[in-house]
Amino acid sequence: MNRQDHSGHDCGSTREPCADLPALVRMNYFHGQLISERDLRTDQAYFRERLRHMNRCLHGYGVICGLDVTGEGSGPDCIDQPDPAAEDLKAKLAAVRQRMAEVKDQMAREEREAERQKLEMEYKQLAAENETIQRELEALDQGGTGDGTPAQGHCSDAPATPWLIGIACGAALDCQGNDLVLSHPVKLDLATMLSPADKRRIEAEGGATAWLRICHDECGIEPARPFAMDSCATSVACTDTRIREDVRFTISLDPPDEEQCCESCCCSCGDACLVLAAIRLQPGKVLTDGAIDLSVRRPIGLYQPVVITGVSWQHGASYDAKSANQILGTRDEEGGLLIRFSRPVHVSTLLPGVIEIWRVAGGRGVSGIVTGVDGAFVGLPASGFVSEARYRDVTGETVQGRDRIIVVVKGDFILDRCCQPVAAANIGGRVPALPGGPTPLSAPDLAGVCTTPPAGRMAWTSGHGGLFESWFTVAEE
């Protein structure tokens, strides 16, 4: 029977929830209360759901630190993987325990004595099988985790493989609020993890991109026999006394779904596994870091903002006058500044003034005068979304030697489909030049200075901040 509080709220409501949010129920202890296994599980579930809810709605999800993925070449013949025999035993153990639970439930509901005796006999046989499998697992453990998984440093006898990767220690949160903690580095043989269909496709196509994901996992450890049995138990079989929260890795040729949630707290995230890397696999070709793309991973946060991934010039570089005019699109309707975004943005927010070009005059004559360069967008559709924008000079006035061209993009006013602004700050001037543009005469030498972006080993992009600023100069003839 449902109860109501003083405001008339239905405390026992079973109505469908309006969002993917937890139903928080905690224990109300009182003197003389009989505490059962279910009550203790309720207490655990309450605090676990609260922590997951806070992670998801206050911190978001994504990679917090580490979890760097590297190509190991042919690698040593030492791969941190579960023993296949142990994996087979664990699968059998899970099936036996599931059947035991089903038989136990039937015994509780069965009223006919003859049928009940049959069920009891089956339960005893299952309990004996459960005990046998558990002992075999313990024998295989050899100082490992207690579930048949080899301890750290255990090496399988698998031969060297060209598709060997290493994953460094690190931490992340998945979109359900689960902690993903890898406390020791691992090596994985991707060839043993791919499905037969994916392997055939890689062979047929001469190569394909595979997506590596990290997932939350749980495994029982430290089995022990019960001190006392309940009224339905007929065996003293071992039961796991601890549950280790762990991670597992998957890889497939199926790309991740595009993120659809504008509010990560109030919508379902679908597949909770977190993408770590996109890896280009080719038959017989050794994996190197160049084949591993880490830019597909999601940094920790409530929302993944759109960033600028490339522009058609090199920041701080010097170009000859002809190349500079080509970059600006001066007297060239096919030219102009090209700016590429990580995801589509609203065309309607690419208004006059969102991109500005300033020219600081140089040379031996009048210098130091700053003038605005009128421009216009080229080739934009009337409505919808675009992933890149071209903006060209429409004044027709060519640049002169020693001029400095300043480009400003006001990211605060460019909105994505969730009406979020572009994170446009040109961190360190490192947003890369897109391929195919003019070759500069000279460029800043940044070798050895902050070679890795703040988010880790991946391509540079713009970041937090609403204003993108960049410049290049015109060489004196």
- How far is it, in rounded angstroms, from Cα 98 to Cα 102? 6
* Structure confidence at residue 305 (pLDDT): 92
CB 324 within 8 A of CB 373: no
Mean pLDDT across the chain: 84
Structure confidence at residue 157 as a pLDDT band (50, 70, 90) = very low
- How far is it, in rounded angstroms, from Cα 46 to Cα 41? 9
CB 348 within 8 A of CB 305: no
- How far is it, in rounded angstroms, from Cα 101 to Cα 239? 13
Is the pLDDT score of 86 beyond 80? no
* Structure confidence at residue 154 (pLDDT): 45
Contacts of residue 230, Cβ cutoff 8 Å, sequence gap at least 6: none
Structure confidence at residue 325 as a pLDDT band (50, 70, 90) = very high
DSSP per-residue string spanning 60-88: -BEEEEE--EEE-TT--S------HHHHH
- Reported as a single tens digit per residue, the pLDDT across 87-139 is 778 888 888 888 887 877 787 777 788 887 888 888 888 888 888 888 787 77
- How far is it, in rounded angstroms, from Cα 447 to Cα 187? 31
- Greatest distance between any 2 Cα atoms in the chain: 110
CB 151 within 8 A of CB 145: yes
CB 388 within 8 A of CB 340: yes
Highest mean pLDDT: which range of 2-11, 215-224, 328-337:
328-337
Structure confidence at residue 141 as a pLDDT band (50, 70, 90) = low
Structure confidence at residue 6 as a pLDDT band (50, 70, 90) = low
* Amino acid (1-letter code) at residue 451: T
CB 294 within 8 A of CB 456: yes
CA distances from 304 to 58, 75, 345 (A): 14, 35, 13
pTM over 0.75: no
**Residue 96: both structure tokens together:** 């036996």
Which residues share a beta bridge with 406? 358, 471
Angle at 104 between CA 226 and CA 22, to 5 degrees: 85
- Reported as a single tens digit per residue, the pLDDT across 412-423 is 999 999 999 999
* Structure confidence at residue 11 (pLDDT): 59
CB count in 10 Å sphere of residue 404: 16
Percent of residues, the chain, with pLDDT higher than 90: 44
